[in-house]
Structure formats: C-alpha cells, structure tokens
Structure 1
Amino acid sequence: MDNSLIILSVVIVSVSILAGALMIWRLSVGLNSLNASVQQAVLDKPDPAQQLQLKQISEMQHTVLARLYEQQSYQEKRMGELSSHLSDKLSKNRETFDARQLESLKAQQENLTQGMGEVRKQLSEALQQNARQLGEKVDALTRSTDERLKEISTQVDKRLNEGFEKTTATFADVVKRLALIDEAQKKITALSANVVSLQEVLADKRSRGAFGEVQLEALVRNMMPENSFSFQHVLSNNTRVDCLLLLPEAGGNIAIDSKFPLESYRKMTDIECCESQKRQAEKQFKIDIKKHIYDIANKYIIPGTTSEGAVMFIPAEAIFAEIHAHYYDLVEEAQRVRVWLVSPTTLMAVLTTARSVLKDSATRKQVHLIQEHLLALSRDFTRFQARMDNLSKHIDQASKDVSEVNISARKISSRFEKIEKVELSNAQQEAMISHAPNDSPE
C-alpha cells in the first residue's frame, strides 16, 4: 500500500513538473508572439505610447520568465528531494516486504508440512481400509471361483461322460459304416470287373449291337403292354427290325432300330489323338450317322405295313447330345426322311405317347359297352325314382296315421286322469263319514 502511494506521489509530481514546463513554454510563445506583433506595429506606425507599451511588455516578459524559471528550479529541486525520499522509502518498504514475504513463506511451509502429514495419515488410513476391503473381496471372489470351478468340474465330468458315450456310439456307428463301406468296396470291385467286361463288350461291333438291343428291349418291356410290341420282327420286305411297336391302324406300326456309332466318337473325344485324327474321326462319325439314318429310312418305312416314320435308338446319351449340339444338319436330314433320333431318355417319352395311343384306342373300342351300361343305368334310375315317389307317399300316409294315433292316445290319457280324480273324491267322502262323532247315548 505504501509503495503504491509513493509511486502515485512520484507520478503526480512528475505530471506537475511537466504541466509547469508546458505552461512556461506556452507563456513564452504567447509573449514572443505578442512582442513580435507589437514590434511590427511600432515599426509600421511609430508611436511613443506603443513604444512604452512594448517596453512594458518586454519587461513583463523578462519578469514572468524569471519567475517561471525560478518556479521550475524550485520544482526540480523539490522533485529531487522527493525522489531521494521516495528511494529511501522504497528501500525500507522492500526490506519490510522481503521480511514479511519470508515469514509468509515460512508459515506456508509449516502449513504445507502439517497438511502433508495429515494427508499422509489420511492416505495411510484409506490404504489400510482399501486393503481390508480388497482382502474381503478377494476372499469372496475366491469362494465364488471355487464354487464356480466345482460347478464347471461337475459339468465337465458330465459332458465328458456324455461325450464318451456319444464317442462310443459314434465309434460303433463308424464300425458299422466301415463294414458298409467294405461291402460297397466289394461291390465297386465287382462293378469294376463288370465295367471292364462292359468295355470288352463295347469294343466289338456285334457286342455293341447286342448291348443296344438289350437296353431297347428292357425299356420297351417296362413301358408297353405285353401284346403291343414285337422284337426281331420280320417285315414284308424280309428285313428284320429290332423292335416293332404294334399300334392301331390309324397311326400304323412303328419300327425302332438300335444303332451304336462308338468307334469314331471315341476317337473324337480321345485327348491322346491329334487334331488331324480328330477331324478325320468327325468326318467318319458324320458319315456313319447319315448311313444309319438312310438304312433305317429305306428298310423300315414300308407303306401299308409300318407308319410313315421310323425311330433310330442311340443307347448312349453322350452321343445323342453330341449329334444335337454339333451336327444339327444330321438331325434335320433325319427329320426330312422321317427318321426320329432318340436316346434312352427321349425313348421313354415316345413309349409313353405310344401307350397313351393304345389306351385311347382301347377306350374307343369299348365305347358301345359304356353306352349300353349307361342306358341300363338310366332305366334303373327311372325305376328307382318311381319307387322313391311311392315310398314318399307311404311315408306321408304313415305320418298322418301316427298323428291320428297320437291324438287318440292323448284323449285316452285324459279320460284316465278324469277317472282317477273321481275315485279319489269318493275315497275322501268315505273317510269323512268314518271319522264323524257318535251321537248315541252310552
């Protein structure tokens, strides 16, 4: 506070000195200006009064300036004294401030030391309390963990036992399946032998022809009635066809012949053959198929004996697909001469259609029998209607009779009720007479 007052006093004195200096400068400037204007007026128009006035102004200027300089010197001296006094005062105040600051620091240090001791004590107590709580929680967690471990151990034992049982059952099942696999392996071995024998069969042209005929016969026997086909049938031109479907006269009999062009197809698909060999095999394959088509068209389409078309049965689905995918000109050529190419799958559709035709023909042959049965059924229904009308009349008459019988029964019941009431009234009268008082004297 003292330092602030000292500094404020120094500032005020400094401002006063500056204000005095400024005032002196302004007065000096004003007097100089006045003196200059008066001198100029005297020079323009010399006048003793103005000269006297000029002299008085000059003297007054010197007097004012002297007094101002004296005042400034006094203020500077006063300022020096005040500055010295203020310097001494500041030194004393600094020493006092340093002493007070040192005492304050010592007091703060003592308070800090005391506070640190209390904080250390509180921290020690808090740590001890936390240690106790942590110990209790650890004990509880240990107990909970032990219980959980016991439960887990029990569940693990249970699941292990179940797993052992399932493993045992699975192992037994695996043993059974291994036995089945062993049997399947034996069957595969046998099948491999059959495949080898099948390859040997397919290697020979006659064997391939027999294989196709057997497959054709199996399909036809499974799909068609027994009296609707003939195998190795001899036609009117003395040619023998593998199968002849005996269909109604409207469509005619259909000849089915089996063809198995395997040699050229194998060369076409053999990866070991070069490109030239494959191209040669493709040409030969096309020639073989076309030859088979025209052989069937010329041999098995006989006007008046067979239908207007014949069927070429190809036992291998792969060969059938190859023809339709890459040799569609052969398919068109076959359709032009009315030879229909079929595989085992498409032959099923042809046979299904033929069976439907046979069934439809048999149905048409039995139409007159169905009409006779319908007429007889109509006559029976007419008689049934007449008898039903008679029965309805009898039922109506019986209903009327039952109603009249019910009326008679109600009347009879009513009369019986009246008779019972009369008998009851007579019995009451007799009882009253028997209980009347005796008037005769004793």
Structure 2
Amino acid sequence: MLVELLLAAIVLVLLALVLWLLTTTRRELGELRQATAPADAVTELLRRQIEAVRAEGRDGQEAVRREVSDLALRMRGDIGGLQQSVASELKGVSTEVTHQLHEGMKLIQNAQTTMGDRLDRAAQVVAEVQGSLGKLGEATLRVVEVGKDIQGLEQILKSPKVRGGLGETLLAELLSQMLPQEHYTLQHPFKSGERVDAALRIGDRLVAVDAKFPLENFRRMLDEGEEDKRRPVRRQFVRDVRTRIDEIAKKYILPDEGTFDFALMYVPAENVYYEIIIKDETDLADDPIATYALSKRVVPVSPNSFYAYLQVIILGLRGLKIEANAQNILNDLARLAGDLDKVREPLRTLGRHIGNAQSQFTEAERALDRFGAKLETIERKGGAQAELPEVGS
C-alpha cells in the first residue's frame, strides 16, 4: 500500500511539471504574439520550440515511466521477499504457537486428571472419615453402655466377699490358660482346715497363691479428693495389706505339708500393685510394703508380673520333664548295656566257630587244589600213552 502511494505521488509530480512547462510556453507564445506582428519565421521558430518542448516532455515522461516501472519492479521484488520472510516467520511462529498450545492442552488435561484423582481420593477419604466417624459414634455409644455396666459392676463389687470371688475367678482363668491341669490345684486344703485359692505344683512341692486382696480402703482412698483426707485412708489401706501378708505367711507357708518356703499374693489390678509396690509413698515409720512382704517370704504379684512368674514356672516344669526323660534314657541305656553283655558272649562263640570254619574251609580248599593238580597230572600221562604207536603197524 505504501509503495503504490509513493508511485502515485511521483506520477503526480511529473504531470505537474509537464503542465507547468506547457503553461509557461503558451504564456511566452502569447506575449510574443502581442509584442510583434505575426510572421512565418517567428511562427516556424515557435512551432519548432514547441515541438522540441513536446519531444523533451515525451522523453521525460518516458524516462519517468521507465524509472517508475523499474522502481515498481524493485519494490515488487522487495515486497515479495518481505512477504516470503514474513510468511516464513509467521509459519514458524504459528508452529511454535501450535506446539505451545498442544503442550498447554496436555498440561491442562494432566492437571484436570490429577485434580480429578485428588478429588476422587479426597471424596474417598471423606467417605472413610464419615464411616470412621459413624463407627466412632457407635463405639462411643458402646463405651457409654460399658461405662454403665462398669458402674453396675462397681456397685456389685462393693462387697468384699464378691471382690474376693472375682479375684479367685481371674486367677483360675489365668492358670487354666497357662498351665496344664495336673500342675495346679484350686482351693487346695491344708491340715489346719484352711484352703488356699491356688497351689502350683512344681515337682513334688507346692507354691501357694492367695487372691483375697483387701480393696475396700483402696477404693475409699481413690474417692477422697483432698490429700489431707486421703492420707489417713492410705495408712489404713497399708495396714490392711500388711495384715493380709501376715495371714498368708502364717496359713499357706507350710513346708511340712509340701509347700515351698514362700507364697504369692495375687494383686488383681495393676493400679493397686503400682500403689502399694512401686509408688509406696507411705509416711509410716515401718518398712515399705514390698520390703515387709519379702521379709515374710510373701511375693506380691500383679496380673502382668504373675504372667512372668508363670513363664518361669513353665520353664522349670519343662526342665523337670527333661530331667525325668533324661533319667529314663539313662535307665534304658543301662538296660541296653546289660543286653549287650548278654549278646557279646554268644557273638564271641560264633566268632570262634566262624574262625574254625574259615580254617577248615582254607584247609579243604588247599586239599582240593592238590587233588586237582594230581588229576591234571594223571590226565597228562593218559594223553601221552594214547600217542604211542601200535605194535606191528
């Protein structure tokens, strides 16, 4: 568009120049006609000048036309090259833009896929959380119901006799799960008429286990909120425990009736065991409960520590069983040694007989060889006689 405007401007300038020359010539011709009379010479001169001017104008127009044509050709070539360059650049830009658009679309699709997966996982997690919340709600309701049951059980266990029975039941259940029936006895009687809750049989001796632990003052101690009121109740609880230790040592440690020189005091709850054995913050002048119990040869055990004791007892029972089996094996070996002595003499006699038979076999084999040699000699002699010529032949 710019080149066409430029060409039009050049053409207009040339036309204006030609018009100006014609106008000037006509004006001079008019002035000359007014200044002089008409004459053929002047007219001819003027005609020639006009022709010359016209020829120059035509030559100028032709030159301008050629210049304009050359310029137009050059401009067309430049415009063509420019168009090709622009087209090439546009093609490259278009290709790059298309590639970038494709990459952008891929990124968008991947982002959409990732976002969809995350949304699906989030929805799944939300569903799982909702399910867990539902289960948690159900579990909470069950916990509330269990709490109510525990409250009812607590009311039932307020009776010391019932608590003792529960401790015996828990002890019996634990023993039934850990030991064979032949290695423990429930409610084992003594000559005094007393019965221990359980007696563990290790070899030919017994370990007494008592489960009647005093919990009344312990429960009162937990119910007291103030430390000043709790301290005297704790003292009473400690006295109850010491009293029970004395009773166990007196009633159930009876070596004359086959017991070991110690007994076990089964504490039915870990928190109680922690309070009397591990914590033991009593301000009494006497020894701590654990020291006092060991001095009486009474060993306090909780459910967890009693389980460990039972594991040790099981290992001991296995050792006893191995010892008994080893003794049986030794007895069997002794019997086998006697049987071997009984078999050894006949074997020796048989060996002598076999030796004699071997000697006789060797002697017979030698005699047979001698007999064979003689037989071969006789055969050779018989053959030689057969080869002699007949008489008179």
Length-normalised TM-score, structure 1: 0.49
Match of 2:214 in 1: 261
- Identical columns (%): 26
Q: Of residues 212, 235, 246 in structure 1, which corresponds to 2:201?
A: 246
Distance in 2, Cα, partners of 1:239 & 1:355: 27
Assess, with a 3 A threshold, how the Cα gap between structure 1 residues 138 and 221 changes in structure 2: closer, same or farther. Answer: same
Match of 1:320 in 2: 273
Q: Of residues 156, 163, 170 in structure 2, which corresponds to 1:201?
A: 156
Distance in 1, Cα, partners of 2:198 & 2:127: 53
Match of 2:250 in 1: 298
Distance in 2, Cα, partners of 1:285 & 1:346: 22
Matched, 1:329 2:284: no
Shift of 1:297: 0.9
Q: Secondary structure at the match of 1:260?
A: coil
Q: Secondary structure at the match of 2:319?
A: helix
Letter in 2 for 1:294: D
* Matched-pair contact (CA < 8 Å) for 1:213–1:258: yes
Shift of 1:292: 0.5
* Matched-pair contact (CA < 8 Å) for 1:231–1:241: yes
Q: Secondary structure at the match of 2:260?
A: coil
Match of 1:38 in 2: none
Letter in 2 for 1:205: P
Distance in 2, Cα, partners of 1:171 & 1:275: 48
Match of 1:344 in 2: 303
Shift of 1:343: 0.8
Q: Of residues 188, 192, 205 in structure 2, which corresponds to 1:237?
A: 192
User: Unpaired runs of 5+ in structure 1?
Assistant: 1-131, 384-442
Match of 2:113 in 1: 158
Match of 2:183 in 1: 228
Match of 1:423 in 2: none
Assess, with a 3 A threshold, how the Cα gap between structure 1 residues 193 and 334 changes in structure 2: closer, same or farther. Answer: same
Match of 1:177 in 2: 132
Distance in 2, Cα, partners of 1:182 & 1:283: 43
Q: Of residues 280, 289, 310 in structure 1, which corresponds to 2:263?
A: 310
* Matched-pair contact (CA < 8 Å) for 1:242–1:258: yes
Q: Deviations over 1:11-62 (max 9, x none)?
A: xxxxxxxxxxxxxxxxxxxxxxxxxxxxxxxxxxxxxxxxxxxxxxxxxxxx
**314-323 or 291-300: bigger deviation:** 314-323
Aligned length: 247
Shift of 1:157: 2.0
Distance in 2, Cα, partners of 1:280 & 1:227: 45
Match of 1:363 in 2: 322
User: Unpaired runs of 5+ in structure 2?
Assistant: 1-85, 345-393
Shift of 1:229: 1.0
Assess, with a 3 A threshold, how the Cα gap between structure 1 residues 322 and 153 changes in structure 2: closer, same or farther. Answer: same
1:60-139 to 2 correspondence within 5 Å?
A: none
* Matched-pair contact (CA < 8 Å) for 2:213–2:241: no
Please report the RMSD computed on the Cα atoms of aligned residues, expressed in angstroms: 3.4
Shift of 1:259: 3.4
Match of 1:434 in 2: none
Letter in 1 for 2:185: S
Distance in 2, Cα, partners of 1:312 & 1:208: 15
Shift of 1:377: 8.6
Distance in 2, Cα, partners of 1:196 & 1:269: 15
Letter in 1 for 2:242: K
Q: Deviations over 1:326-360 (max 9, x none)?
A: 25622222111111111111111222222223222
Assess, with a 3 A threshold, how the Cα gap between structure 1 residues 174 and 283 changes in structure 2: closer, same or farther. Answer: closer
Length-normalised TM-score, structure 2: 0.54
Shift of 1:230: 1.1
Structure number with bigger Rg: 1
Distance in 2, Cα, partners of 1:224 & 1:314: 19
Shift of 1:248: 1.9
Letter in 2 for 1:308: D
Matched, 1:188 2:140: no
